[in-house]
Every structure is written in structure tokens, then in C-alpha cells.
Structure 1
Amino acid sequence: MDPETVNKNNFSVSIETAGGAVLSPIIRSVLVDSEEGNILVVELDNEIMYNDDVVKISYTPGDLGTLDAVASEAFTDAVLTDFIKVNLFDDPTSNVDNSFETSEVSNWPYLWWGAPWDAYSMSFSFDQAHSGSKSMYLEFEPNGGMIIGNTDADGNNVTFPTEKGFKYEMGAWIYVVDLGTPVTSNLRMFWRPSTDWGVADNPNFNATTPIGEWFYTSVTVSFAADGNESFMLRGQNVNSETLKFYMDDLTLYKLTNRP
């Protein structure tokens, strides 16, 4: 976008809260992103957005256009979905190797649940990576599954801190190589010692799952207590063919709700 054509007065923002209120915040500034020139950064005046808000933005045509003089069209109540969130695993103090750059197979050991949770293979590959140079490569055998934990070189659980009373977004990036027959299979992200065994599939694999491209999957979770938890990844393949996929960039975002 051409920075000279940006005028904050051509934009308006509304915030719909979970409680049903509609707020009309004042826009402090609208600027072209310094790194990605096709993105506009909108700053609000003394207003905080929360993860349970629905934020909408509208544009009334003015002079806004690209550097090659292509004018921008009007839009009304476009819902903003990309809130700024901080991945707790990206913190330099985090012990979780969420992009698997330094992980070895021994760091993600089988947890000895018995059949069918031992019918899998796991390795680390340079063939596909969502970020960095490595990802985890998984194959679930026909009617098989997997259960693995996360430990350090001494066999101790690799942990991450959690807080009771908050919601978190837990997710990963997935690249499916071979889905097998279109029968729903799944991966679930559990944790120990105080997991929620009812946590949703993350993801489920079905006939509409993308193949040959990275996609993001996540669920909202809550933790039963303040403390330190450690991953348990449990996969299930109910197909008669092998399920093959890569996984990369584990995420954990602490979500904030409007008081």
C-alpha cells in the first residue's frame, strides 16, 4: 500500500463483546506495516481487545491505493481474526522444543499403553518444515495408534507452566502426505500429570483434510491446577491404510477474556 494514501478517517472499528455490548473505539492511527507492505496496522485509542471479542472494521473509499495506483474498494464489517497472541513455547526460557530443531526420537518416547497405541513410527525429517529445517514425521499403521511423551536427555519430563482459571489455545501445524481411506482418524494433545481426557481431536483427519499443504489446527483447553505439565501426544488411525503426516511448530497461547 502507498503510505501517502492512508487516512485513518476513512476507517471505523466496532467491538462486539461476549456480553452483548457494542463498542465504537476511536482510531488513533492507521499505518502501513513496516515489513509487509500489503498490511495496514490499526491502532486504537485507549482500547484493549480481548480474545472473546468480535472485532469488525469498515472502509469508506478515499484515496487509499497501492504503489502502482490501484485504488482500494470499500468493505463493511470485515471480521478481524488475527489477534496478536504470544506463543508461550517461543519464550527463550521455555524448555519445549516446539519446532523440533533439536529433538531426537529419544525425546518423544513411547508411553507403553499397549496395543493399538504401539502401532506407529516416528522420526524427524528435513523433507518438510513449517519453520526452521526439521519437523516430526509420523506414520500410524492401519487400525493402529500412538502415545508418546516428551522427555529430556536424562528421561525427565519436559514441562511447561500453566495457570488454573485461564483458557489456552493449544495447536500445531500439520502436513498430510497420505490420508488413507476417508474414515475419521485423529490426533489428541494430552498432558500430564493433570490432563483433560475429554480434550477434542487436534486435528481429526477426514475426507476434507488438506493434503500436500501445511494447515493449522488448535483447540481451546483449560488446566486443572497451577503447575507444570508435560505433553502426551495420542494418535488413532481407524483406517485400513497407513496415515502419514508431518507435524511442526507446537503452540500454546494464553487467552484473555474481557472482564
Structure 2
Amino acid sequence: MTNSIKLSKRLSKVASYLPEGALFADIGSDHAYLPCYVCLHDNTAKAIAGELNVGPYNSAVDTVNQHELSKVIEVRLGNGLQILNKGEVRQLVIAGIGGPLIKTILDEGIQKLDGVERIIAQPNIDAGNVRKWFYENGFTITNEAILEESGHIYEIVVADKNAAANPFEADDLEKQLLFGPLLLKEKTEVFFYKWKTEYEKLQRVIDQMNKATIKNDKKIQQFQKELKWMKEVLMNEK
């Protein structure tokens, strides 16, 4: 048995948003590394690790047993939030999958969110979809982070239930959902790098769509609007 786990930079940042004494679920737990790390560093924390498929489930069970944490971490096999009982956890982690899938998991399991005070989401793509879900379902974005690791850029969005603060400005809600209301204020070096790359990619997509025999004018207009926002943001680079 080893009493330490080394998390990736990405998962270490996710873990930092869990409070002391967390009672949380990690959906799609990837060998249960995150729950094990948290519970090894906080003997008052407890966790549920959820896995959809048998192979990852068995790997998670092995990790928990290896670290002698079976009394504080339960590994469950099932789809999304269906593994949870209502009111069973106070925090929820969903990391390492796409924003649209995170949104689907939250939509399909919304009845299981009673008692959940904080959701920590780390979408690999389309974080705007997750922000929009939070905005429409009574969760307030209280923290955001953007980081680079091994050539990939990751965004983390933390939302609390019925928090008093509102991170959104009165205008341009759609723009703030795309970039992140807090990231848009901080504008780190990684933030600018991400949106320079996204600007170039979107410009190429628009060029290709304009050459198509049958054009999707509505989609092109939306992309052009986003391209304009990106250009405005990039013009303010420090």
C-alpha cells in the first residue's frame, strides 16, 4: 500500500475546489485517483466514485483497495448521476469529458442534485454549454480556471447553489458564457493563447462554410458573431 497519489495538474486544480470534509461524488472517476487523493489528504472527506463500464469500475475498486480507503470511498457502477441517492452528496465533480455530455449528465440526473451545494466541472470542450446549464438551473459560477498541460488547454468551472454573488455583467450574456465571466475579467496568458488558437480555427471553418454549395447562413452568422467577440477580446491582450 502506498499512501500517496500524484495527480495531474488538471486534477490537482479540480481537487483544490473541494472543501475540507467534502462529501462528494466523482462521476467518470478515472481509476478513482481524485477521490483517493482527496481522502488521503483529508481524513474527514468521503467520496463516491462512479463508473459507467465494468473495466474502469474494476480499476477504480483496485485503486481504492490499494490505498485501503474502502471505508471512505465507495465505487459504484452505473450511468451518470443515477448511481446517487437524493441528498447523498454535497459536492459533485464531473471532469475530463465534453461540455455537451456534462450537460446531458446534469439534465438526466437533475432530480439527484438535491443537497448538492457545489458542482466542479472540467469540460474538455465547449465549457460554454456547462456555464449555460449552471446559469439556467440555479447554480452560480464562483470560480473559474484555465490551464495548460501536456499541450492541452483545460477550463474548470465551479458553481455553487444559490450563491449571492453574480459574476455576469448586465450586457453580453452570450459572450460571457462563451469565454467565462471570471476568466474574461482575469485574462491570463493561457486564456489569450486559447482564444488566439480558437480564432484561427473558427476563421478556417467560416471560410470553408462560405465555399460550400449549400450554405448554413444561420450557423455562419453565429460563428461570425463569435469571431468578432474573439477579435475584441484579443485586441485587449496585455
Q: TM-score, normalised by structure 1?
A: 0.25
The structure in which a higher percent of residues are strand is 1
The structure in which a higher percent of residues are helix is 2
Q: TM-score, normalised by structure 2?
A: 0.26
Larger Rg: 1
